Amino acid sequence: MKKILLILSILSINFCFAQFEDKEIKLNKYVHGTLCQPTEKTETAALIIAGSGPTDRDGNNPMLQNHSLEMLAHGLAGNNIASYRYDKRIFRMQELQFTEADLSFDDFIEDAITALQYLKDSLHYNKIVVIGHSQGSLVGMIAAKDRASGFISLAGPSEKMSTKLIEQISNQSAAYGDTTKVYFQQLQEKDTIEKVNPFLMSIFRPSVQHFIKTWDKYEPKKELKKLDIPILIVNGTKDIQINVHDAEGLKSVVSDAELLLLENMNHILKSEAETKKNEEGELIVHPDLIPALTKFIQEL
């Protein structure tokens, strides 16, 4: 019996590996990513956009290797949905010879549009869905307008970047929250902050002030209202970075959008009540996430 079970296990693993193929694809000097294609022909693809900070195409950052976006891509491929996920250009600043002072939020939008056009014009997918995680939700909803068949927000904020940041800092210190309000006023009026408090330097250092200002000109709820395509808003009840109120805020401006709140899911799309791991020993994404996304995409 043990031998039979072992053979079945090996067959299952081989079948899983045969469900998709990951290919490294460079679209231009800025956009380098992975095309995940199911072995069966499909006319449906998703563009997966990572969240804020140094988060790569797979959902990893230097502080936390979680592979959540890679797992998402592979899970979709198992349901015959192709995908493209890519690194933000900040990972290639040295090679491209630019600094963070040269970076604009609009660069992120431009890169997402480039990836969308690749899926549409070069690979000729008939149905393309944008999936944006965290900061990538805002990037994705802007890029998706008039270009995508559907949009999925994963743990996406509902308020402007300044509103969210002031709230988070005020929760730690009312005084620093007030200082943060002044900094955003200075950015709007003078394009720069006159003198940054050392305790807030990591957030408002001079080299990122232009990026912050260009990010803050977009309000997620206003951008979401511009979309005339099916929308799915997903959030976890254990997400301490983007909470349920953000998901409900997005839903409030688009009445026909679908809202899905996943019990115990955190910001990296894992369930805090789940113990199941993959072959590499990493916690799998929330067990209800991929089925829900698949259902939404297949019904478009």
Residues 94-129 as b or e (16 or more Cβ within 10 Å = b): eeeeeeeeebebebbbbbbbebbebbbeeeebebbb
Q: How far apart are CA 73 and CA 56, in angstroms?
A: 13
Q: Residue 6: its pLDDT value, please?
A: 33
Q: Residue 10: its pLDDT value, please?
A: 33
Q: Residue 278: its pLDDT value, please?
A: 83
Structure-token pair, residue 93: 């600043």
Residue 224 has pLDDT above 80, yes or no: yes
Q: How far apart are CA 39 and CA 35, in angstroms?
A: 12
Q: What's the whole-number mean pLDDT along residues 4-10?
A: 33
Q: Residue 279: its pLDDT value, please?
A: 78
Start-end of H helices in 27-134: 68-77, 93-96, 105-117
Residue 4 has pLDDT above 60, yes or no: no
Q: pLDDT digits over 122-163, tens only?
A: 999 999 999 999 999 999 999 999 999 999 999 999 999 999
User: Which 8-state DSSP code applies to residue 118?
Assistant: I
Work out the angle at residue 31's Cα, subtended by the Cα atoms of residues 22 and 266, and round it to the nearest 5 degrees: 65
Q: How far apart are CA 105 and CA 234, in angstroms?
A: 23
Backbone angles phi, psi at 233, to 5 degrees: -110, 120
Environment class of 273 (CB within 10 Å of its CB; exposed 0-12, middle 13-18, buried 19+): exposed
Q: Which pLDDT band, with edges at 50, 70 and 90, does 280 fall under?
A: confident
Q: Could you tell me the domains of the chain? A: 21-158+229-298 (3.40.50.1820), 161-217 (no CATH)
pTM of the model: 0.92
Q: What's the whole-number mean pLDDT along residues 216-242?
A: 97
Residue 1 has pLDDT above 60, yes or no: no
Q: Residue 8: its pLDDT value, please?
A: 32
Map residue 10 onto helix, strand or coil.
helix
- N-terminal to C-terminal alpha carbon distance within the chain: 45
Residue 276 has pLDDT above 90, yes or no: no
Q: Residue 17: its pLDDT value, please?
A: 47
Structure-token pair, residue 103: 């970076």
Residue-averaged pLDDT of the chain: 92
